[in-house]
Structure 1
Amino acid sequence: MARRFLRRRTIVIAAIIVALSVGIVFASIPYLPHPPARTIQTPVTHTIRGGSEMYPGVYSLTLRGVSSTDNFAIGVNVTNGMASFCVMPESSFIAWTFNNSTGGIPFSFDSCILNVQTAQTTLRFTPTSQGNWDVVAVNTSSATIIVEYTPAS
């Protein structure tokens, strides 16, 4: 009888240890390191003409073949002023460019998943769908600016 009790007790203790171990493993999953953010491979520098609200100067850096699970980090640095940065699907930028071919249409920030006005920062974002995405710099100041996109971590 004592042997049966010890055996049952050993099985119960082993089951408790296994259950606790499984619980600890599942509880620690959110603390595992996440994969590093994707970024551009080389810096890209572009001069953007001065503009206004109705005739903005723009430059678009296209990210091709993006997945909706990709996390991005891209450094931006503006010389001689500030720019508004908008991350949007390439199709939205092309549509605005086509509609604004004669000028006079303010830039549409409606499709932006990220909209930041800055002189220097790291843009961090996750696209909402797969495909090509544009990181657009918009200059509504009358001064010409230089925008540099850089790899970030």
Structure 2
Amino acid sequence: MKIFFRVQQRAYEITPESVSWPWLWKSLEEAKQGEIDRALEYIVDDELIEEIEAIEDLDERWETALEKAGLETGIKNGVSCFEDPEKLVDYFESRGGVDDEIAYVLIFKGRFVEVGEDGEDIAKFVEEVERVDWSDFKANIDMYIEKYVG
């Protein structure tokens, strides 16, 4: 198991079942519906579109739409994070930083899954190690590197 660093919104907790989706959407359900809408744009058979739209269960509708359109999901089986804390800081500073009122840095143990679309690591969360305010993390990055990276 490795140590990973993630900016985590205070509004919800990460669990081992957590997944990541593109920032365009605010929830997993919204991400799945967005992917359904995108998939339907690739399908030319009106009857098939109607069949997919008639599926009541969101997960089944999502899986069917992606399969019929021949698309892969952007939803990742793990959470976006960085093994390198400096890359986390660079990534978020290039996007305007992080508001301590909204989010914090979650340091956790996890298992690497893959590299995400923005070059970030995707890891399966296993266990929380520490929570740190962004401003403290950024100001003391060398200490966190020494403590967790070596």
Q: Same fold by TM-score, threshold 0.5 exceeded?
A: no
Name the structure where strand makes up a greater proportion of residues. 1
Report which of the two structures shows the higher radius of gyration computed on alpha carbons. 1
Using CA pairs under 8 Å that are at least 6 residues apart, name the structure with larger relative contact order, 1 or 2. Answer: 1
Pick the TM interval, shorter chain: under 0.3
Tell me the TM-score normalised to structure 1 length: 0.25
Q: TM-score, normalised by structure 2?
A: 0.26
Could you say which structure has the higher helix fraction?
2
